[in-house]
Chains A and B, each alone.
Chain A
Amino acid sequence: MDEGAQFHRVFPLTGADCDVWVDGRRLKARRGQSLLSLLLEHGGRVRTHERTGEPRAGFCLMGACQDCWVWLSPTQRGRACTTPVEPGMRCFTRSPEAEVLP
Chain B
Amino acid sequence: MSQMHTDVVIIGAGSIGTLTALYLVRQGLSVVLLDRGFAGGQSTGVSPGSLRLQGRNPTEMPLSMRAQEMWEAFEDDIGESVEFEQKGHLFLALTPAHLDKIDALMPIEAAHGNFCEKLSRDEVLSRWPCLTPENLGGMFNPRSAVVNSRMVAPAVARAASRAGALLFEQEEVLSVERKGETFLTRTDRDRRIESPIVVNAAGMWARPFANGFGEDAPMFSAGPIQMVTEPVPQFLDPVVHSVDGHIIFRQTLAGNIVVAGHPRVPVDDVARRSRVPPDKTLRNMRRLLNAAPGLLPQSIIRIWTGIEGYLPDMLPVLGPSATTPGLFHAFGWSGHGLQCAPAAAESLTQLIVGGASRIDLSPFAIARFTGAVRPDEQKLRDEFEDNVVRPRSGAAAS
Closest to B131 in A: A102
Residue-wise interface mask of B (295-321) relative to A, using a CB-CB cutoff of 8 A (1 in contact, 0 not): 011110000000000000000000000
A101 in contact with B254 (CB, 8 Å): no
- Within A70-85, which residues are at the interface with B (CB < 8 Å)? 71, 74-77
Task: Please pick, from A50, A51, A69, A75, the residue contacting B296 in the complex, using a CB distance under 8 A.
Answer: A75
Q: What's the nearest-Cβ distance from chain A to residue B230, in Å?
A: 8
Say how far A76's CB is from chain B's closest CB, in angstroms: 6
Residues of A within 8 A of B235 (CB): 101
Number of interface residues of A (CB under 8 A): 13
Q: B202 → chain A, closest Cβ, in Å?
A: 37
The answer, yes or no, to whether A100 is at the interface (CB within 8 Å) is yes
Whole-angstrom CA separation of A76 from B255 in the bound complex: 18
**Partner-A contacts on B (CB < 8 A):** 129-130, 230-233, 235, 254-255, 294, 296-299
CB-based contact A71/B294 at 8 Å: no
Contact in complex: B254, A102 (CB < 8 Å): no
Q: Which residues of A have CB within 8 Å of B297?
A: 71, 74-77, 100
- Assembled-state Cα–Cα distance A95/B235 (Å): 13
Within 8 Å of chain B (Cβ to Cβ): is A2?
no
From A71, A76, A97, A102, contact of B233 by CB (8 A): A97
Give 12 CB contacts A-B under 8 Å.
Answer: A50-B233, A50-B255, A69-B230, A74-B297, A77-B298, A95-B232, A100-B297, A101-B232, A101-B233, A101-B235, A102-B129, A102-B130
Whether the pair A102, B294 counts as a contact (CB closer than 8 A) is yes
**What is the CB-to-nearest-CB distance from B293 to chain A, in angstroms, rounded to a whole number?**
9
A7 to B130, CA, bound (A): 39
Residues of B within 8 A of A77 (CB): 297-299
Residues of A within 8 A of B255 (CB): 50-51
B231 near A100: Cβ-Cβ < 8 Å: no
